[in-house]
Chain A
Protein backbone atom coordinates (compact mmCIF):
# COMPACT_ATOMS: atom_id res chain seq x y z
CA UNK A 1 0.00 0.00 0.00
CA UNK A 2 2.95 2.32 0.72
CA UNK A 3 3.88 2.65 -2.93
CA UNK A 4 0.47 4.07 -3.85
CA UNK A 5 -0.03 7.76 -3.41
CA UNK A 6 -2.42 8.75 -0.64
CA UNK A 7 -5.48 9.62 -2.77
CA UNK A 8 -5.15 6.32 -4.65
CA UNK A 9 -4.84 4.29 -1.45
CA UNK A 10 -7.76 6.13 0.16
CA UNK A 11 -9.89 5.56 -2.95
CA UNK A 12 -9.03 1.86 -2.86
CA UNK A 13 -10.24 1.66 0.77
CA UNK A 14 -13.42 3.56 -0.10
CA UNK A 15 -13.94 1.29 -3.12
CA UNK A 16 -13.74 -1.76 -0.85
CA UNK A 17 -16.30 -0.09 1.39
CA UNK A 18 -18.76 0.40 -1.48
CA UNK A 19 -18.30 -3.22 -2.60
CA UNK A 20 -19.16 -4.43 0.92
CA UNK A 21 -22.16 -2.09 0.98
CA UNK A 22 -23.34 -3.52 -2.36
CA UNK A 23 -23.07 -7.06 -1.03
CA UNK A 24 -24.92 -6.11 2.16
CA UNK A 25 -27.71 -4.41 0.27
CA UNK A 26 -28.17 -6.62 -2.80
CA UNK A 27 -31.80 -5.65 -3.34
CA UNK A 28 -30.65 -2.28 -4.70
CA UNK A 29 -28.27 -3.86 -7.23
CA UNK A 30 -30.96 -6.37 -8.22
CA UNK A 31 -33.54 -3.62 -8.66
CA UNK A 32 -31.15 -1.55 -10.75
CA UNK A 33 -30.47 -4.49 -13.08
CA UNK A 34 -34.05 -5.81 -13.07
CA UNK A 35 -35.48 -2.58 -14.45
CA UNK A 36 -33.70 -2.57 -17.85
CA UNK A 37 -34.06 -6.35 -17.97
CA UNK A 38 -37.81 -6.02 -17.68
CA UNK A 39 -37.77 -3.45 -20.49
CA UNK A 40 -35.72 -5.81 -22.64
CA UNK A 41 -38.31 -8.59 -22.25
CA UNK A 42 -41.19 -6.15 -22.73
CA UNK A 43 -39.79 -4.61 -25.88
CA UNK A 44 -38.72 -7.89 -27.46
CA UNK A 45 -41.74 -10.06 -26.64
CA UNK A 46 -44.59 -7.54 -26.52
CA UNK A 47 -43.61 -4.85 -29.02
CA UNK A 48 -40.82 -6.66 -30.87
CA UNK A 49 -42.84 -8.37 -33.58
CA UNK A 50 -44.54 -5.18 -34.68
CA UNK A 51 -41.63 -2.80 -34.16
CA UNK A 52 -39.31 -5.20 -36.03
CA UNK A 53 -41.63 -5.05 -39.02
CA UNK A 54 -41.26 -1.26 -39.00
CA UNK A 55 -37.44 -1.35 -39.20
CA UNK A 56 -35.98 -0.58 -42.65
CA UNK A 57 -36.34 -3.82 -44.63
CA UNK A 58 -38.05 -5.53 -41.71
CA UNK A 59 -40.64 -8.30 -41.76
CA UNK A 60 -43.45 -9.02 -39.33
CA UNK A 61 -43.58 -11.92 -36.85
CA UNK A 62 -40.70 -14.02 -35.51
CA UNK A 63 -38.11 -12.64 -37.97
CA UNK A 64 -39.12 -9.12 -37.05
CA UNK A 65 -38.78 -9.98 -33.39
CA UNK A 66 -35.24 -11.27 -33.82
CA UNK A 67 -34.29 -8.22 -35.95
CA UNK A 68 -35.70 -5.98 -33.26
CA UNK A 69 -33.78 -7.83 -30.51
CA UNK A 70 -30.55 -6.93 -32.30
CA UNK A 71 -31.75 -3.36 -32.82
CA UNK A 72 -32.93 -2.65 -29.26
CA UNK A 73 -30.26 -4.48 -27.21
CA UNK A 74 -27.74 -1.57 -27.33
CA UNK A 75 -30.42 0.84 -26.05
CA UNK A 76 -31.11 -1.40 -23.08
CA UNK A 77 -27.40 -1.86 -22.39
CA UNK A 78 -27.21 1.94 -22.11
CA UNK A 79 -30.35 1.99 -20.02
CA UNK A 80 -28.63 -0.41 -17.61
CA UNK A 81 -25.85 2.18 -17.25
CA UNK A 82 -28.43 4.90 -16.59
CA UNK A 83 -30.16 2.67 -14.05
CA UNK A 84 -26.90 1.97 -12.20
CA UNK A 85 -26.17 5.70 -12.22
CA UNK A 86 -29.44 6.23 -10.40
CA UNK A 87 -28.06 3.93 -7.68
CA UNK A 88 -24.98 6.17 -7.42
CA UNK A 89 -27.12 9.19 -6.63
CA UNK A 90 -28.93 7.18 -3.96
CA UNK A 91 -25.78 5.91 -2.26
CA UNK A 92 -24.12 9.36 -2.34
CA UNK A 93 -27.23 10.90 -0.76
CA UNK A 94 -27.44 8.06 1.79
CA UNK A 95 -23.88 8.76 2.89
CA UNK A 96 -24.70 12.40 3.45
CA UNK A 97 -27.76 11.67 5.56
CA UNK A 98 -25.86 9.07 7.59
CA UNK A 99 -23.37 11.70 8.62
CA UNK A 100 -20.45 9.47 7.75
CA UNK A 101 -19.25 11.94 5.13
CA UNK A 102 -18.90 14.57 7.85
CA UNK A 103 -16.70 12.10 9.74
CA UNK A 104 -14.54 11.44 6.66
CA UNK A 105 -14.11 15.18 6.21
CA UNK A 106 -12.69 15.57 9.72
CA UNK A 107 -10.10 12.86 8.97
CA UNK A 108 -6.71 13.32 7.31
CA UNK A 109 -7.74 11.60 4.09
CA UNK A 110 -7.98 12.71 0.48
CA UNK A 111 -11.41 14.36 -0.04
CA UNK A 112 -11.55 13.11 -3.64
CA UNK A 113 -11.35 9.52 -2.41
CA UNK A 114 -14.74 9.80 -0.70
CA UNK A 115 -16.45 10.37 -4.03
CA UNK A 116 -13.89 8.24 -5.86
CA UNK A 117 -14.96 5.19 -3.88
CA UNK A 118 -18.56 5.69 -4.96
CA UNK A 119 -17.57 6.18 -8.58
CA UNK A 120 -15.47 3.01 -8.70
CA UNK A 121 -18.18 1.02 -6.93
CA UNK A 122 -20.81 2.29 -9.35
CA UNK A 123 -18.61 1.50 -12.34
CA UNK A 124 -18.52 -2.11 -11.25
CA UNK A 125 -22.29 -2.12 -10.70
CA UNK A 126 -22.84 -0.48 -14.08
CA UNK A 127 -20.61 -2.90 -16.01
CA UNK A 128 -22.26 -5.86 -14.24
CA UNK A 129 -25.68 -4.50 -15.23
CA UNK A 130 -24.70 -3.96 -18.86
CA UNK A 131 -23.07 -7.39 -18.98
CA UNK A 132 -26.25 -8.98 -17.65
CA UNK A 133 -28.37 -7.33 -20.34
CA UNK A 134 -25.99 -8.48 -23.09
CA UNK A 135 -25.94 -12.01 -21.68
CA UNK A 136 -29.73 -12.22 -21.52
CA UNK A 137 -30.00 -10.82 -25.05
CA UNK A 138 -27.67 -13.60 -26.22
CA UNK A 139 -29.80 -16.14 -24.37
CA UNK A 140 -32.84 -14.74 -26.19
CA UNK A 141 -31.12 -15.37 -29.52
CA UNK A 142 -29.05 -12.22 -30.16
CA UNK A 143 -25.80 -13.07 -31.98
CA UNK A 144 -23.16 -10.29 -31.82
CA UNK A 145 -20.72 -10.25 -34.74
CA UNK A 146 -17.93 -8.35 -32.97
CA UNK A 147 -14.30 -9.49 -33.21
CA UNK A 148 -11.98 -9.34 -30.15
CA UNK A 149 -10.80 -5.82 -30.99
CA UNK A 150 -14.41 -4.67 -31.23
CA UNK A 151 -15.28 -6.32 -27.91
CA UNK A 152 -12.36 -4.48 -26.34
CA UNK A 153 -13.49 -1.20 -27.90
CA UNK A 154 -17.01 -1.88 -26.62
CA UNK A 155 -15.69 -2.46 -23.11
CA UNK A 156 -13.81 0.84 -23.29
CA UNK A 157 -16.82 2.72 -24.65
CA UNK A 158 -19.19 1.31 -22.04
CA UNK A 159 -16.71 2.04 -19.22
CA UNK A 160 -16.46 5.60 -20.47
CA UNK A 161 -20.26 5.91 -20.62
CA UNK A 162 -20.59 4.48 -17.11
CA UNK A 163 -17.93 6.85 -15.75
CA UNK A 164 -19.64 9.86 -17.36
CA UNK A 165 -23.11 9.00 -16.07
CA UNK A 166 -21.70 8.13 -12.65
CA UNK A 167 -19.90 11.45 -12.15
CA UNK A 168 -23.04 13.26 -13.30
CA UNK A 169 -25.21 11.39 -10.81
CA UNK A 170 -22.68 11.88 -8.00
CA UNK A 171 -23.37 15.60 -8.45
CA UNK A 172 -27.13 14.97 -8.53
CA UNK A 173 -26.83 12.92 -5.34
CA UNK A 174 -24.87 15.68 -3.62
CA UNK A 175 -27.42 18.23 -4.78
CA UNK A 176 -30.32 16.33 -3.22
CA UNK A 177 -31.51 17.17 0.26
CA UNK A 178 -32.91 13.70 0.84
CA UNK A 179 -32.49 10.14 -0.37
CA UNK A 180 -35.98 10.28 -1.94
CA UNK A 181 -35.07 13.27 -4.12
CA UNK A 182 -31.81 11.59 -5.03
CA UNK A 183 -33.66 8.55 -6.33
CA UNK A 184 -36.02 10.72 -8.41
CA UNK A 185 -33.72 13.35 -9.93
CA UNK A 186 -31.78 11.03 -12.29
CA UNK A 187 -34.99 9.58 -13.77
CA UNK A 188 -34.48 11.74 -16.87
CA UNK A 189 -31.49 9.51 -17.67
CA UNK A 190 -33.92 6.59 -17.97
CA UNK A 191 -36.24 8.60 -20.26
CA UNK A 192 -33.54 9.95 -22.58
CA UNK A 193 -32.73 6.62 -24.28
CA UNK A 194 -36.36 6.47 -25.48
CA UNK A 195 -35.90 9.83 -27.22
CA UNK A 196 -32.96 8.53 -29.27
CA UNK A 197 -32.42 6.12 -32.10
CA UNK A 198 -32.35 3.33 -29.51
CA UNK A 199 -35.90 2.00 -29.81
CA UNK A 200 -37.04 3.21 -33.22
CA UNK A 201 -35.17 4.90 -36.10
CA UNK A 202 -35.25 8.70 -35.70
CA UNK A 203 -36.74 9.09 -39.22
CA UNK A 204 -40.05 7.75 -37.90
CA UNK A 205 -40.33 10.62 -35.36
CA UNK A 206 -41.92 14.07 -35.91
CA UNK A 207 -39.42 16.69 -37.15
CA UNK A 208 -38.61 18.46 -33.85
CA UNK A 209 -38.28 15.27 -31.88
CA UNK A 210 -36.24 13.63 -34.59
CA UNK A 211 -33.80 16.58 -34.54
CA UNK A 212 -33.46 16.24 -30.77
CA UNK A 213 -33.02 12.47 -30.99
CA UNK A 214 -30.28 12.82 -33.58
CA UNK A 215 -28.32 15.33 -31.54
CA UNK A 216 -28.66 14.11 -27.97
CA UNK A 217 -25.72 12.25 -26.39
CA UNK A 218 -27.41 8.86 -26.00
CA UNK A 219 -27.80 8.46 -29.78
CA UNK A 220 -24.06 8.21 -30.63
CA UNK A 221 -23.49 6.08 -27.51
CA UNK A 222 -26.22 3.63 -28.55
CA UNK A 223 -25.25 3.63 -32.22
CA UNK A 224 -21.58 3.17 -31.37
CA UNK A 225 -22.53 0.15 -29.26
CA UNK A 226 -24.80 -1.18 -32.03
CA UNK A 227 -22.07 -0.84 -34.68
CA UNK A 228 -19.45 -2.58 -32.56
CA UNK A 229 -21.84 -5.43 -31.71
CA UNK A 230 -22.64 -5.75 -35.43
CA UNK A 231 -18.90 -6.04 -36.13
CA UNK A 232 -18.54 -2.60 -37.71
CA UNK A 233 -16.23 0.32 -36.99
CA UNK A 234 -17.83 3.76 -37.31
CA UNK A 235 -15.15 6.13 -36.14
CA UNK A 236 -17.35 9.23 -36.46
CA UNK A 237 -20.00 7.84 -34.17
CA UNK A 238 -17.46 6.41 -31.72
CA UNK A 239 -15.59 9.72 -31.63
CA UNK A 240 -18.81 11.64 -31.03
CA UNK A 241 -19.85 9.21 -28.27
CA UNK A 242 -16.44 9.44 -26.58
CA UNK A 243 -16.54 13.24 -26.85
CA UNK A 244 -19.94 13.40 -25.16
CA UNK A 245 -18.75 11.06 -22.43
CA UNK A 246 -15.64 13.09 -21.69
CA UNK A 247 -17.67 16.31 -21.66
CA UNK A 248 -20.33 14.89 -19.31
CA UNK A 249 -17.62 13.40 -17.11
CA UNK A 250 -15.76 16.71 -16.78
CA UNK A 251 -18.95 18.67 -16.07
CA UNK A 252 -20.10 16.04 -13.55
CA UNK A 253 -16.69 15.91 -11.87
CA UNK A 254 -16.31 19.69 -11.53
CA UNK A 255 -19.91 20.06 -10.38
CA UNK A 256 -19.48 17.30 -7.79
CA UNK A 257 -16.26 18.83 -6.56
CA UNK A 258 -17.79 22.25 -6.02
CA UNK A 259 -20.88 20.76 -4.33
CA UNK A 260 -18.70 18.61 -2.12
CA UNK A 261 -16.68 21.59 -0.95
CA UNK A 262 -19.86 23.35 0.10
CA UNK A 263 -19.86 23.45 3.89
CA UNK A 264 -22.16 21.09 5.73
CA UNK A 265 -24.74 23.23 7.50
CA UNK A 266 -26.90 21.39 9.97
Chain B
Protein backbone atom coordinates (compact mmCIF):
# COMPACT_ATOMS: atom_id res chain seq x y z
CA UNK B 1 0.00 0.00 0.00
CA UNK B 2 2.24 2.83 -1.19
CA UNK B 3 -0.49 5.43 -0.64
CA UNK B 4 -0.45 4.86 3.10
CA UNK B 5 2.51 7.15 3.53
CA UNK B 6 0.99 10.13 1.84
CA UNK B 7 -1.61 12.22 3.63
CA UNK B 8 -5.21 11.81 2.50
CA UNK B 9 -5.66 15.58 2.48
CA UNK B 10 -2.84 18.03 1.91
CA UNK B 11 -3.56 21.76 1.73
CA UNK B 12 -0.84 24.40 1.39
CA UNK B 13 -1.22 28.16 1.12
CA UNK B 14 -4.88 27.97 0.12
CA UNK B 15 -6.60 31.32 -0.45
CA UNK B 16 -10.05 32.11 -1.77
CA UNK B 17 -11.97 35.35 -2.16
CA UNK B 18 -15.53 36.03 -3.27
CA UNK B 19 -15.26 39.47 -4.85
CA UNK B 20 -13.78 41.80 -2.23
CA UNK B 21 -14.45 39.36 0.56
CA UNK B 22 -11.34 37.32 1.45
CA UNK B 23 -12.78 34.07 2.80
CA UNK B 24 -9.61 32.01 3.18
CA UNK B 25 -6.29 33.71 3.89
CA UNK B 26 -3.59 31.05 3.56
CA UNK B 27 -4.72 27.69 4.89
CA UNK B 28 -2.21 24.91 5.56
CA UNK B 29 -3.69 21.62 6.67
CA UNK B 30 -2.59 18.00 6.46
CA UNK B 31 -4.82 15.09 7.38
CA UNK B 32 -3.06 11.70 7.60
CA UNK B 33 -4.82 8.71 6.01
CA UNK B 34 -7.25 6.97 8.33
CA UNK B 35 -7.68 9.83 10.79
CA UNK B 36 -10.47 12.26 11.63
CA UNK B 37 -9.83 15.98 11.47
CA UNK B 38 -12.43 18.44 12.75
CA UNK B 39 -12.58 21.96 11.35
CA UNK B 40 -14.00 23.93 14.20
CA UNK B 41 -15.16 27.47 13.72
CA UNK B 42 -18.03 29.93 13.94
CA UNK B 43 -20.39 30.67 11.04
CA UNK B 44 -18.58 32.46 8.24
CA UNK B 45 -15.14 31.21 9.26
CA UNK B 46 -14.66 29.56 5.86
CA UNK B 47 -15.36 25.92 6.80
CA UNK B 48 -17.79 25.23 3.98
CA UNK B 49 -15.55 26.99 1.46
CA UNK B 50 -12.70 24.62 2.34
CA UNK B 51 -15.02 21.62 1.95
CA UNK B 52 -16.32 22.92 -1.39
CA UNK B 53 -12.77 23.34 -2.68
CA UNK B 54 -11.81 19.85 -1.51
CA UNK B 55 -14.96 18.50 -3.18
CA UNK B 56 -14.02 20.22 -6.50
CA UNK B 57 -17.13 22.44 -6.37
CA UNK B 58 -15.00 25.59 -6.13
CA UNK B 59 -11.53 26.36 -7.45
CA UNK B 60 -8.85 27.85 -5.20
CA UNK B 61 -7.43 31.31 -5.95
CA UNK B 62 -3.94 30.25 -4.87
CA UNK B 63 -2.21 27.37 -3.13
CA UNK B 64 -2.28 23.64 -3.76
CA UNK B 65 -4.94 21.24 -2.58
CA UNK B 66 -4.39 17.50 -2.90
CA UNK B 67 -6.73 14.67 -1.98
CA UNK B 68 -5.18 11.17 -1.94
CA UNK B 69 -2.30 12.72 -3.84
CA UNK B 70 -4.45 14.13 -6.66
CA UNK B 71 -4.65 17.85 -7.32
CA UNK B 72 -8.24 19.12 -7.09
CA UNK B 73 -7.80 21.48 -10.04
CA UNK B 74 -5.63 19.44 -12.42
CA UNK B 75 -7.07 16.04 -11.62
CA UNK B 76 -10.61 16.69 -10.41
CA UNK B 77 -12.07 13.45 -11.72
CA UNK B 78 -9.53 11.33 -9.79
CA UNK B 79 -10.42 13.30 -6.66
CA UNK B 80 -14.14 12.78 -7.27
CA UNK B 81 -13.58 9.04 -7.63
CA UNK B 82 -12.04 8.86 -4.15
CA UNK B 83 -14.29 11.15 -2.12
CA UNK B 84 -17.74 11.26 -0.63
CA UNK B 85 -19.40 14.52 0.40
CA UNK B 86 -22.33 15.20 2.67
CA UNK B 87 -23.11 18.89 2.81
CA UNK B 88 -25.11 21.04 5.16
CA UNK B 89 -28.16 20.91 2.94
CA UNK B 90 -29.53 17.49 2.25
CA UNK B 91 -28.72 16.31 -1.24
CA UNK B 92 -31.43 13.72 -1.71
CA UNK B 93 -34.05 13.52 -4.45
CA UNK B 94 -37.31 14.17 -2.63
CA UNK B 95 -39.46 12.55 -5.31
CA UNK B 96 -37.53 9.28 -5.25
CA UNK B 97 -37.88 6.79 -2.40
CA UNK B 98 -34.98 6.19 -0.05
CA UNK B 99 -34.13 2.92 -1.79
CA UNK B 100 -34.35 4.56 -5.23
CA UNK B 101 -32.01 7.34 -4.11
CA UNK B 102 -29.49 4.73 -2.97
CA UNK B 103 -29.89 2.69 -6.14
CA UNK B 104 -29.32 5.83 -8.23
CA UNK B 105 -25.95 6.24 -6.52
CA UNK B 106 -25.14 2.55 -7.06
CA UNK B 107 -26.00 2.87 -10.77
CA UNK B 108 -23.98 6.04 -11.24
CA UNK B 109 -20.99 4.37 -9.60
CA UNK B 110 -21.47 1.25 -11.77
CA UNK B 111 -21.76 -1.19 -8.90
CA UNK B 112 -23.64 -3.62 -11.13
CA UNK B 113 -27.09 -5.03 -10.52
CA UNK B 114 -26.25 -7.68 -7.93
CA UNK B 115 -23.57 -5.81 -6.00
CA UNK B 116 -25.66 -2.61 -6.16
CA UNK B 117 -28.69 -4.29 -4.65
CA UNK B 118 -26.57 -5.94 -1.96
CA UNK B 119 -24.91 -2.64 -1.04
CA UNK B 120 -28.24 -0.78 -0.91
CA UNK B 121 -29.70 -3.48 1.37
CA UNK B 122 -26.68 -3.34 3.61
CA UNK B 123 -26.89 0.46 3.98
CA UNK B 124 -30.65 0.43 4.54
CA UNK B 125 -30.07 -1.95 7.47
CA UNK B 126 -27.04 -0.15 8.82
CA UNK B 127 -28.83 3.20 8.81
CA UNK B 128 -32.04 1.77 10.17
CA UNK B 129 -34.06 2.92 7.16
CA UNK B 130 -35.84 -0.38 6.49
CA UNK B 131 -39.30 0.93 7.33
CA UNK B 132 -38.91 4.09 5.26
CA UNK B 133 -36.96 2.78 2.26
CA UNK B 134 -40.10 2.55 0.12
CA UNK B 135 -41.37 6.05 0.89
CA UNK B 136 -40.43 9.25 -1.00
CA UNK B 137 -37.54 11.03 0.69
CA UNK B 138 -39.57 14.26 0.89
CA UNK B 139 -41.68 12.61 3.62
CA UNK B 140 -38.63 11.93 5.82
CA UNK B 141 -37.85 13.80 9.02
CA UNK B 142 -34.70 15.94 9.17
CA UNK B 143 -32.74 13.22 10.95
CA UNK B 144 -33.79 10.52 8.52
CA UNK B 145 -32.99 12.71 5.53
CA UNK B 146 -29.50 13.26 6.92
CA UNK B 147 -29.04 9.54 7.44
CA UNK B 148 -30.19 8.82 3.88
CA UNK B 149 -27.87 11.57 2.64
CA UNK B 150 -24.93 9.99 4.44
CA UNK B 151 -25.90 6.51 3.25
CA UNK B 152 -25.96 7.79 -0.37
CA UNK B 153 -22.48 9.19 0.12
CA UNK B 154 -21.26 5.81 1.39
CA UNK B 155 -22.69 3.67 -1.43
CA UNK B 156 -19.40 3.79 -3.35
CA UNK B 157 -17.22 3.25 -0.25
CA UNK B 158 -15.27 6.54 -0.46
CA UNK B 159 -11.79 6.51 1.03
CA UNK B 160 -11.99 10.16 2.02
CA UNK B 161 -15.16 11.64 3.44
CA UNK B 162 -16.07 15.31 3.86
CA UNK B 163 -18.89 15.98 6.29
CA UNK B 164 -20.00 19.59 6.41
CA UNK B 165 -21.76 20.16 9.73
CA UNK B 166 -23.19 16.63 9.70
CA UNK B 167 -25.25 17.05 12.87
CA UNK B 168 -26.44 20.66 12.61
CA UNK B 169 -30.16 20.79 13.26
CA UNK B 170 -30.44 17.18 14.42
CA UNK B 171 -32.06 16.02 17.64
CA UNK B 172 -29.72 14.50 20.27
CA UNK B 173 -30.54 10.92 19.32
CA UNK B 174 -29.89 11.44 15.61
CA UNK B 175 -26.61 13.20 16.52
CA UNK B 176 -25.53 10.11 18.41
CA UNK B 177 -26.48 7.92 15.44
CA UNK B 178 -24.31 10.04 13.14
CA UNK B 179 -21.43 9.89 15.64
CA UNK B 180 -21.66 6.09 15.80
CA UNK B 181 -21.57 5.92 12.01
CA UNK B 182 -18.51 8.18 11.87
CA UNK B 183 -16.71 6.04 14.44
CA UNK B 184 -17.44 2.82 12.56
CA UNK B 185 -16.18 4.41 9.32
CA UNK B 186 -12.93 5.30 11.01
CA UNK B 187 -12.53 1.68 12.00
CA UNK B 188 -12.87 0.76 8.33
CA UNK B 189 -9.91 3.05 7.58
CA UNK B 190 -11.81 5.97 6.04
CA UNK B 191 -10.24 9.42 6.36
CA UNK B 192 -12.74 12.02 7.53
CA UNK B 193 -12.71 15.79 7.48
CA UNK B 194 -15.71 17.16 9.32
CA UNK B 195 -16.72 20.70 10.05
CA UNK B 196 -18.61 21.57 13.16
CA UNK B 197 -19.66 24.40 15.43
CA UNK B 198 -20.07 21.97 18.30
CA UNK B 199 -17.05 21.66 20.51
CA UNK B 200 -18.08 18.41 22.14
CA UNK B 201 -18.50 16.88 18.69
CA UNK B 202 -14.93 17.75 17.70
CA UNK B 203 -13.73 16.49 21.08
CA UNK B 204 -15.53 13.17 20.76
CA UNK B 205 -14.79 12.34 17.14
CA UNK B 206 -11.57 13.97 16.02
CA UNK B 207 -7.93 12.94 16.27
CA UNK B 208 -6.96 16.47 15.28
CA UNK B 209 -8.85 19.71 15.64
CA UNK B 210 -8.13 22.74 13.48
CA UNK B 211 -9.66 25.91 14.85
CA UNK B 212 -10.69 28.18 11.98
CA UNK B 213 -11.66 31.78 12.37
CA UNK B 214 -11.68 34.64 9.88
CA UNK B 215 -10.21 32.44 7.17
CA UNK B 216 -7.16 31.39 9.17
CA UNK B 217 -6.30 28.32 11.21
CA UNK B 218 -5.40 29.71 14.63
CA UNK B 219 -4.67 26.34 16.26
CA UNK B 220 -4.25 22.77 15.10
CA UNK B 221 -3.63 19.94 17.51
CA UNK B 222 -5.08 16.96 19.33
CA UNK B 223 -8.13 17.91 21.39
CA UNK B 224 -6.30 17.06 24.66
CA UNK B 225 -3.30 19.23 23.76
CA UNK B 226 -5.52 22.09 22.67
CA UNK B 227 -7.13 22.06 26.06
CA UNK B 228 -3.68 22.62 27.59
CA UNK B 229 -3.55 25.96 25.79
CA UNK B 230 -5.86 27.36 28.43
CA UNK B 231 -4.88 27.38 32.10
CA UNK B 232 -5.35 24.25 34.16
CA UNK B 233 -9.00 24.05 34.88
CA UNK B 234 -11.00 24.95 37.93
CA UNK B 235 -11.69 23.65 41.39
CA UNK B 236 -14.97 24.04 43.21
CA UNK B 237 -14.85 23.87 47.01
CA UNK B 238 -18.02 23.49 49.03
CA UNK B 239 -18.05 24.33 52.76
CA UNK B 240 -20.44 23.32 55.47
CA UNK B 241 -20.92 26.86 56.76
CA UNK B 242 -21.28 30.04 54.73
CA UNK B 243 -19.15 31.78 57.33
CA UNK B 244 -16.11 29.80 56.20
CA UNK B 245 -15.99 31.44 52.74
CA UNK B 246 -14.08 34.61 53.57
CA UNK B 247 -11.38 32.73 55.49
CA UNK B 248 -11.06 30.13 52.77
CA UNK B 249 -10.59 32.83 50.15
CA UNK B 250 -7.72 34.29 52.20
CA UNK B 251 -6.17 30.85 52.56
CA UNK B 252 -6.28 30.27 48.79
CA UNK B 253 -4.53 33.58 48.18
CA UNK B 254 -1.99 32.72 50.87
CA UNK B 255 -1.14 29.23 49.56
CA UNK B 256 -1.40 29.79 45.80
CA UNK B 257 -0.41 33.42 45.65
CA UNK B 258 -2.02 35.41 42.88
CA UNK B 259 -4.85 33.37 41.42
CA UNK B 260 -8.08 34.18 39.76
CA UNK B 261 -11.23 33.87 41.77
CA UNK B 262 -14.09 32.87 39.51
CA UNK B 263 -17.52 34.20 40.28
CA UNK B 264 -19.75 31.34 41.35
CA UNK B 265 -22.61 30.51 39.05
CA UNK B 266 -25.55 30.58 41.45
CA UNK B 267 -27.53 28.14 39.34
CA UNK B 268 -25.03 25.31 39.70
CA UNK B 269 -23.94 26.17 43.22
CA UNK B 270 -27.38 26.09 44.76
CA UNK B 271 -27.53 27.61 48.26
CA UNK B 272 -24.34 26.06 49.61
CA UNK B 273 -21.18 27.95 50.48
CA UNK B 274 -19.23 27.48 47.28
CA UNK B 275 -15.93 28.83 46.05
CA UNK B 276 -14.73 28.45 42.42
CA UNK B 277 -11.02 28.98 41.90
CA UNK B 278 -8.74 28.58 38.89
CA UNK B 279 -6.12 25.87 39.41
CA UNK B 280 -2.42 26.76 39.09
CA UNK B 281 -0.84 25.37 35.90
CA UNK B 282 2.41 24.12 37.50
CA UNK B 283 2.29 21.14 39.89
CA UNK B 284 -1.48 21.14 40.02
CA UNK B 285 -1.74 18.03 42.23
CA UNK B 286 0.79 19.29 44.79
CA UNK B 287 -0.85 22.68 44.93
CA UNK B 288 -4.22 21.08 45.46
CA UNK B 289 -2.91 18.86 48.28
CA UNK B 290 -1.24 21.81 50.05
CA UNK B 291 -4.43 23.88 49.87
CA UNK B 292 -6.66 21.12 51.22
CA UNK B 293 -4.16 20.34 54.03
CA UNK B 294 -4.01 23.98 55.07
CA UNK B 295 -7.80 24.36 55.06
CA UNK B 296 -8.02 21.25 57.22
CA UNK B 297 -5.35 22.57 59.64
CA UNK B 298 -7.29 25.79 60.00
CA UNK B 299 -10.44 23.95 60.95
CA UNK B 300 -12.35 24.89 57.79
CA UNK B 301 -13.44 21.43 56.66
CA UNK B 302 -14.22 21.12 52.95
CA UNK B 303 -17.40 19.17 52.42
CA UNK B 304 -16.94 18.49 48.70
CA UNK B 305 -14.26 19.06 46.06
CA UNK B 306 -14.93 19.09 42.33
CA UNK B 307 -12.21 19.55 39.72
CA UNK B 308 -13.12 20.44 36.13
CA UNK B 309 -10.63 20.18 33.27
CA UNK B 310 -10.77 22.97 30.70
CA UNK B 311 -13.09 22.06 27.83
CA UNK B 312 -12.87 22.99 24.19
CA UNK B 313 -15.31 25.80 24.87
CA UNK B 314 -12.61 27.55 26.87
CA UNK B 315 -10.08 26.85 24.11
CA UNK B 316 -12.41 28.08 21.44
CA UNK B 317 -13.21 31.34 23.14
CA UNK B 318 -9.60 31.87 24.12
CA UNK B 319 -8.51 31.43 20.50
CA UNK B 320 -11.31 33.14 18.65
CA UNK B 321 -12.14 36.05 20.93
CA UNK B 322 -10.02 38.92 19.58
CA UNK B 323 -9.71 40.60 22.97
CA UNK B 324 -8.35 37.41 24.55
CA UNK B 325 -5.93 36.74 21.71
CA UNK B 326 -4.27 40.13 21.99
CA UNK B 327 -3.66 39.62 25.70
Contacts and interface: CB of A to CB of B under 8 A. Distances in A.
- A in complex with B: yes
Interface string B67-101: 00000000001001101110111111111100010
Nearest to B83: A106
A100 B57 contact: no
> Size range of the interface on B?
35 or more
Interface stretch (B107-115, B167-175, B199-207, B249-257): B107-115
Contact of B89 (A24, A99, A108, A263): A99
B64 interface: no
5 contacts: A24-B96, A24-B136, A99-B89, A108-B80, A266-B89
B251 to A, nearest CB: 56
Contacts of A21: 93, 95-96
Contacts of B81: 108
Interface in A93-133: 98-100, 102-109
A10 interface: yes
Nearest to A24: B95
A17 interface: yes
Contacts of A20: 95-96, 100
B92 A98 contact: yes
Interface in B167-196: none
Interface string A7-32: 00110010001001100110000000
Contacts of A263: 57-59
A45 B58 CA distance: 56
A222 B94 CA distance: 37
B110 A266 contact: no
A10 B110 CA distance: 9
Contact of A105 (B48, B56, B92, B152): B56
Contacts of B136: 24
Contacts of A17: 93, 96, 104
B228 interface: no
B197 interface: no
Given A106-B56, A107-B108, 6 more contacts: A20-B96, A98-B93, A99-B90, A107-B80, A266-B48, A266-B52
A263 B59 CA distance: 8
Closest 3 CB pairs of A and B: A103-B91, A108-B81, A99-B91
Interface residues of A, number: 24
A106 B79 CA distance: 9
Given A105-B57, A107-B108, A264-B57, A100 B80 contact: no
B267 to A, nearest CB: 38
A239 B260 CA distance: 89
Interface of B: 18, 48, 52, 55-59, 77, 80-81, 83-85, 87-96, 100, 104-105, 107-110, 136, 152-153, 156
Contacts of B89: 99, 102, 266
Contacts of B153: 103
A106 B59 contact: no
Interface string A247-266: 00000000000000001111
A265 B87 contact: no
Nearest to B55: A106
A102 B81 CA distance: 15
A139 to B, nearest CB: 32
Contacts of B108: 10, 13, 104, 107, 109
Nearest to A23: B95
Nearest to B105: A107
A1 interface: yes
A266 B43 CA distance: 13
A248 to B, nearest CB: 29
Contacts of A98: 90-94
A93 to B, nearest CB: 14
A263 B153 CA distance: 21
A106 B57 contact: yes
B59 A99 contact: no
Nearest to B81: A108
A192 B233 CA distance: 74
A266 B48 CA distance: 9
A144 B93 CA distance: 42
Given A102-B57, A106-B57, A264 B52 contact: yes
B96 A106 contact: no
Q: Which of B18, B88, B100, B107 has the most CB of A within 10 A?
A: B107
